[in-house]
A and B are shown apart, each in its own frame.
Chain A
Amino acid sequence: MTTQNNSAPAGTTSSAPQRIRVLVAKLGLDGHDRGAKVVARILRDAGMEVIYSGLYKTPAQVVDAAIQEDVDVIGVSLLSGSHGPLFGALCQQLRDKGAGHVLVVAGGVIPEQDYAGLLESGVNAIVPQEARSELIVTTIRDMVAARGPI
C-alpha cells in the first residue's frame, strides 16, 4: 500500500513499503476503550502502524506523543459527551506546536448537531459509531493520500 500520489516531491520515491501511522488516543476521563481497541485492530489489519495512547490522556500528552511518533493521523474515540472542549484543545495544541499537518479523526458518540463545530475547530473527519471497518479505513487512506508525504 503506498501513500504516494502523482505529485510526490522529488526524492520521495522508495521501494520500501510505506505505512500510514496512526495514534489511537483516549482523551479526558472517558474510560470506554472498547471501540478504540477494536479500531486499533482494524487499522493494523488494514496494514497501518498503530500506537495506542492508553486512557486518561490530556490533549497536551496526545499531541506530544503524536509529534515524537510523527504519526499521520490521530484517531480519538470519545463517548463522554465532552468532545467539544477536548477536540478544541487538541487541535489548538497541534497548531501551536507546529503539527497542524496531523490529521484528526473523531469517533465514538458524537451527535450530528456537533459535527460542524468539530470540523470548524480543526477535526478533519468524524466517523459515526455504526461505521463498518471499510469506511474507517478508506476515510483515513483517502485523507492521507490527499495530504501527501511528510
Chain B
Amino acid sequence: MLTGKRQSAPVQYRPSAELVPQVLGGSTSAVARMITRAEAEYDEAAPALSDLYRHGGRAHIVGITGVPGGGKSTLISALIRDYVAAGHKVAVVAVDPSSPYSGGAILGDRIRMGQAADPSRAFIRSMATRGHLGGLSRATFQAVDVLDAAGYSPILIETVGVGQDEVEIVTAAHTVVVLSPPGLGDDIQAIKAGVMEIADIHAISKADRPEAAATAAAIKAMIALGSDAPRSGWQTQVLTLSATTDKGIAALVEAIDAHRVHLQASGELAPREEAIARTRVLSNINHLIRRRFDDGTQAMSAQLQAVAGRASDPLTAAMRLLGPENTEHRT
C-alpha cells in the first residue's frame, strides 16, 4: 500500500498586530486568521483582539437558535441571500458542540449556507465549543468582535440544541430568533421548557406542512398566557416560513430590523449592551482565574491535597488561593 507524499515547507507566521489593519480593511483571510488565533488563545494575539474590540460596536448581532433538524441552516442560507441582495456584508458564526470523548467535532452546515453567495459579501465560520460549558466560548464573542471590526452587519450567531446554549445566546445577541419545526405535543413542550422567554421573534419552519399554522397559533397562545413580558414594549413576533420556497423570509428580515429599530428607539439597546458586556467580563474573569490555577502551581497542588485529605474544604481552599482582596465581599 503506497502513500504519496510531498514535503511541505513550514509557513511564515505573521504576527497578529500586522493583521489588524487588514481586518479593518475587510480582508477575508485576515478575518479568518484572527478568529483562528482567538480560538487558539495565543498570548501574542490578545492585544490585537483587544484593539479590534475597540473598533467594533456597529454590527447588529442576531442570535438564531432552535432544536436540531428545525431548518436553521436552510433559513440562514435564505437570510444570507436576502441580506447580500440588499447590499449588506453579512456574517454567520455557527457554533456546534465538541465531542466530549475526542475533543473533535463535526461542524456547521456549509452544504446549504451561502452556497451561491459571493464570498466577499458573506462570511461563514463554523466553531466548536471546545469544551466550554454552556456553548458560547470567549472565542465566539471574539469572532463576533473581529467580524464587527471588519464591517460585517448583521452578524448571525447560530447555536444548536436545547437548553443552556439557547439561554446563553440572549447574553450575546441584540435580537434572538428561535426557530422551531412545526409539530404538536412534544415539540411545543420543548419550546415551553427551554426558550419561550428568550425569543424576540419566533419562527416556525416548514410552513408548507399542515401543522405549521397550528404550531404558530399554539405559540401565540403561550405568549399571551405568559404576559408578564420580560422585554419591555416589544411584542414578540410569531412567523411561519419556508426557507426552501422563500416564503416568509422577507417578513423575518423585516421583523429583525423592526426589533433593531425598537431597541434604539426604546432605549433598551444600552441595557442589552451592558448585559452582553457583563457576560463577557465575567467569562474573562473566569478564564483568567482558571488559567492562573490550571497549570498545577505548587500552591494549587497543596490545596488540592488538603481538600482531598479532608484537611481543608473546597471553599476555604479557593479563598486561600485567590487571596483576601478577591474574596472579602463574599465572606
The interface of chain A, by Cβ under 8 A from chain B, is: 1, 7, 9-19, 21, 40-41, 43-55, 61, 64-65, 67-70, 97-99, 101, 103, 106, 112, 115-116, 118-119, 123-128, 130-131, 135, 139, 143, 146-150
Given contacts A67-B29, A128-B1, contact A150 B36 (CB under 8 A): yes
- The 8 Å CB contact of A44, one of B36, B106, B123, is B106
Complex Cα spacing A12 to B7, Å = 23
Q: Hey, what's the 0/1 contact readout for B76-87 against A, CB within 8 Å counting as 1?
A: 000000000000
Q: Which residues of B contact A9 (CB under 8 A)?
A: 13, 44
Given contacts A47-B102, A150-B13, contact A64 B119 (CB under 8 A): yes
Q: Which residues of A contact B88 (CB under 8 A)?
A: none
The reply to whether B131 and A17 contact each other, CB–CB distance below 8 Å, is yes
Would you mind naming 7 contact pairs between A and B with Cβ atoms under 8 Å apart? Answer: A11-B44, A51-B110, A68-B123, A69-B124, A99-B29, A106-B4, A146-B10
- The 8 Å CB contact of B104, one of A11, A14, A47, A149, is A47
The reply to whether A52 and B106 contact each other, CB–CB distance below 8 Å, is yes
The reply to whether A68 and B124 contact each other, CB–CB distance below 8 Å, is yes
Instruction: Name the residue on B nearest A65 (C-beta).
Output: B110
Instruction: Name the residue on B nearest A126 (C-beta).
Output: B4
The reply to whether B110 and A70 contact each other, CB–CB distance below 8 Å, is no
Q: Hey, what's the 0/1 contact readout for B1-35 against A, CB within 8 Å counting as 1?
A: 11111111111010100000000000011001101
Q: Is the interface of B mostly helix, strand, loop or mixed?
A: loop
Complex Cα spacing A49 to B98, Å = 8
Q: Hey, what's the 0/1 contact readout for B86-111 against A, CB within 8 Å counting as 1?
A: 00000000000011011111111011
The reply to whether A50 and B6 contact each other, CB–CB distance below 8 Å, is no
Q: Which residues of B contact A97 (CB under 8 A)?
A: 29
The reply to whether B45 and A11 contact each other, CB–CB distance below 8 Å, is yes
Complex Cα spacing A19 to B104, Å = 8
The reply to whether B130 and A19 contact each other, CB–CB distance below 8 Å, is yes
Q: Which residues of B contact A41 (CB under 8 A)?
A: 106
B330 on interface, CB distance cutoff 8 Å: no
Complex Cα spacing A1 to B128, Å = 16
The reply to whether B41 and A16 contact each other, CB–CB distance below 8 Å, is yes
B40 on interface, CB distance cutoff 8 Å: yes
Most chain A CB inside 10 Å of its own CB: which residue of B1, B4, B35, B115: B4
Complex Cα spacing A40 to B104, Å = 10
The interface of chain B, by Cβ under 8 A from chain A, is: 1-11, 13, 15, 28-29, 32-33, 35-36, 39-45, 98-99, 101-108, 110-112, 115, 119, 123-126, 128, 130-131, 291, 294-295
Complex Cα spacing A146 to B115, Å = 33
Question: Smallest CB–CB gap between B143 and chain A, Å?
Answer: 11
The reply to whether B106 and A150 contact each other, CB–CB distance below 8 Å, is no
Complex Cα spacing A64 to B29, Å = 10
Question: Smallest CB–CB gap between A133 and chain B, Å?
Answer: 12
Complex Cα spacing A6 to B102, Å = 24
The reply to whether B43 and A47 contact each other, CB–CB distance below 8 Å, is no
Given contacts A68-B119, A131-B1, contact A124 B40 (CB under 8 A): no
The reply to whether A124 and B5 contact each other, CB–CB distance below 8 Å, is yes
The reply to whether A52 and B130 contact each other, CB–CB distance below 8 Å, is no
Instruction: Name the residue on B nearest A24 (C-beta).
Output: B106
**Pairs of residues from A and B, 5 with the lowest C-beta to C-beta distance, nearest first:** A11-B44, A54-B111, A126-B4, A16-B41, A115-B4
The reply to whether B106 and A40 contact each other, CB–CB distance below 8 Å, is yes
- The 8 Å CB contact of B3, one of A14, A16, A103, A139, is A139
The reply to whether A14 and B103 contact each other, CB–CB distance below 8 Å, is no
- The 8 Å CB contact of B126, one of A17, A69, A106, is A69
